[in-house]
Structure 1
């Protein structure tokens, strides 16, 4: 049966299921003991973590564009005057509302005229001047902190994403205010850590993806690259071996991690781990077949080294620039490989469940070390030129840990030209700055103008 994305299904199949009544305490205890049974002699097994991995020294900050200094200090007017003003407004976001019971907030500005937003050239220069020094430093930390291993292929990946920067109440329960945001911006400028509770929401309307495919791809002179459907099976690996020599905040305190298997449907309709050919080394060319090797596509968690979120106040969408390390396993231990293949082959493809996959009772884990923690079903189209790859993706996700799912449409630019340059021993700053400015301008002019507002 062909996959039917949730937004195209009959309403009866996409309606939210009613929240079930909680099981009795005795049943809850039994289920908990089954799912978290302690390995003999080793104490209780910890719960799978869903934390994003940040490398030690990772810079993660937020700023508005234009800067706060261009707005009145009280900043909460109705925008009827000549000067632009700022305000925080509730933003409808069902996944967050389901978790917190409240709408997150988005920063918006009144715009009395087009000229108040500044020119594209000024915006691009501001972003590049701020981001590039930290990018170079983060790339050097990433390369210095990793010792090459034969079983792993490690790549730096610089991406730009579009969406909305959303704010939530602080961890101590205090509400978000314009003064809170001003303090967070100042902390980012000073290189200190703020307590700002934010997230970058990447879901855009499906019409946005259609419009980008039909118009933006032509404006950006991109050529069609590929169109694929994948299932991503997220497997929690308890007592995982040391993954790398990164000093990770996450791996530093617990010996578990998450592996992601990219899967496809084979000819007989069953799921199997996708095989991919990648360069044997970080510097090998993808066009040189003699330097390529095929293996199943299994990856460790990505590691973030730099995250720059920008609220683009006179655009419809906001911008995230992010540097990560991708860690692809070229060889697998026999125990790990057999476990992953067993978990994947046990999956039942079901378009009527979130994530598109389900497992028969008892088949979603193997022993005390491997268990399914999430699934994604993705369909995407990719377009590219020599320096940039655009991916328009529809993703249907389900998290087994929280029993929650989410469907999203996402726009991601992989800055492949800059990623390759950053791998060099001594990347040339002037050429990198030109490449960064060119990429940011392309995104600024073409990808941030789709209306998505509260």
Structure 2
């Protein structure tokens, strides 16, 4: 008998009821308008970027007194793609705008380099969408392909320019170890002034009609769209940093037939802790009308909040049906709550907003990028 992976196994009883908990049955909200759909839609489960979108990449924290600083690459065994084993490559700086080779602190360099893009992206979104976007800091590792790193090792005299790393194919992996999560909850939360808000256990079901991908939780939303991303490889830190300006649009322009198809799919879901994503569908029940299940996310998270920050600590179990891949990770997200509103409202002078942004980056640099292994 052929082996059937757990996520592809289905019940033998076609009449088996689907004990769907109330939390995963969406209560559709049709009051909000559909925002701009001007973005590069991707129905495969990948991230969606706006058109246009801004994407920058920097190296931060290089020693100012070193003429040839080093960056060390290590094998990342948890990722299925092969990455380079331990090696050290000397970098020659060739661009003064990078977040190194300056007399300023790393967070001041990040703020100066990223700030023009933050202003530009906020203003573009303000003119195109009714919903306010959010600025989120994420923490993880930049992963490079082993073949790309091998080519850098062979560079003349073991030195490569910082800009040589920029075009390499890479991904930002947001999974962090349990020890880091423990540090954030037990040490960082009391220091940064955020208070506990709630625990949540939510399923996000990803659907596609062939032209767009949507997410069902308590409302029907288009996938999150990224308008600006700034990636920082943080030398001498345990983790790297990503700043992203993202927006979501709640769908209200769905026909009765579309809404009925979505309800059928959600009501057919069967909770199953043995499969990736925590939900499965009976044979032939993963599509209805024009809609098809393309992925499922099981999120268990705690959130903490202050007037200026919102911290989310979560365990995420994902599964993408098209690729047949999934993983369970621990992730930490920090939302800069005031930043976008202050920029778009125009009631506070830009210098004051910039100073607040700089303070947020210092907090991130001091508390979120390192921990004791």
Q: Which residue of 2 aligns with 1:90?
A: 75
Is 2:311 the counterpart of 1:356?
A: no
1:158 aligns with one of 124, 132, 135:
135
| 2:338 counterpart SS class | helix
Q: TM-score, length-normalised on structure 2?
A: 0.77
Q: Distance in 1 between matches of 2:292 and 2:206?
A: 9
1:155 offset after TM fit, Å?
2.4
| 1:401 counterpart SS class | coil
1:35-84 deviation line (CA, Å, top 9, x unaligned):
xxxxxxxxxxxx942332222232212211134876544xxxxxxxxxx5
Q: Distance in 1 between matches of 2:87 and 2:356?
A: 29
1:287-339 deviation line (CA, Å, top 9, x unaligned):
xxxxxxxxxx1210221111111111121111111111221225633222111
Q: Which residue of 2 aligns with 1:219?
A: 191
| Consecutive aligned runs of 4 or more in structure 1 exceeding 6 Å deviation | 105-110, 117-121, 178-181
1:363-390 deviation line (CA, Å, top 9, x unaligned):
00013x2100000101000111100000
- Paired residues of 2:63 and 2:101 also in contact (CA < 8 A): no
| 2:285 counterpart SS class | coil
Q: Which residue of 2 aligns with 1:440?
A: 361
Q: Which residue of 2 aligns with 1:3?
A: none
Structure 1 residues 87, 314: closer, same or farther in 2, change over 3 A? closer
Q: Which residue of 2 aligns with 1:53?
A: 48
Q: Distance in 2 between matches of 1:106 and 1:429?
A: 44
1:445 offset after TM fit, Å?
1.1
Structure 1 residues 217, 164: closer, same or farther in 2, change over 3 A? same
Is 2:238 the counterpart of 1:316?
A: yes
Larger displacement relative to structure 2 (209-218 or 421-430): 421-430
| Unaligned stretches of 5+ residues in structure 2 | 6-41, 91-99
Q: Distance in 2 between matches of 1:420 and 1:216?
A: 25
| Unaligned stretches of 5+ residues in structure 1 | 1-17, 21-46, 74-83, 111-116, 149-153, 186-193, 239-255, 263-273, 275-296
Q: Distance in 2 between matches of 1:155 and 1:107?
A: 43
Structure 1 residues 427, 237: closer, same or farther in 2, change over 3 A? farther
- Paired residues of 2:59 and 2:162 also in contact (CA < 8 A): no
Q: Which residue of 2 aligns with 1:136?
A: 119
1:237 aligns with one of 205, 209, 220:
209
- Paired residues of 2:74 and 2:83 also in contact (CA < 8 A): no
Q: Which residue of 2 aligns with 1:395?
A: 316
Q: Distance in 1 between matches of 2:247 and 2:328?
A: 25
1:126-150 deviation line (CA, Å, top 9, x unaligned):
111111111101111222234x4xx
Q: Distance in 1 between matches of 2:195 and 2:253?
A: 33
- Paired residues of 1:351 and 1:357 also in contact (CA < 8 A): yes
1:181 offset after TM fit, Å?
6.2
Q: Which residue of 1 aligns with 2:93?
A: none
Q: Which residue of 2 aligns with 1:210?
A: 182
Q: Distance in 2 between matches of 1:433 and 1:124?
A: 12
Q: Which residue of 1 aligns with 2:216?
A: 261
1:353 offset after TM fit, Å?
0.8
1:3-31 deviation line (CA, Å, top 9, x unaligned):
xxxxxxxxxxxxxxx897xxxxxxxxxxx
Structure 1 residues 223, 415: closer, same or farther in 2, change over 3 A? same
Aligned length: 322
Q: Distance in 2 between matches of 1:334 and 1:261?
A: 16
2:262 aligns with one of 314, 334, 340:
340
1:103 aligns with one of 58, 83, 98:
83
| 2:136 counterpart SS class | strand
Q: Distance in 1 between matches of 2:336 and 2:55?
A: 19
| 2:242 counterpart SS class | strand
1:91 offset after TM fit, Å?
2.2
CA RMSD of aligned residues (A): 3.1
Q: Which residue of 2 aligns with 1:228?
A: 200
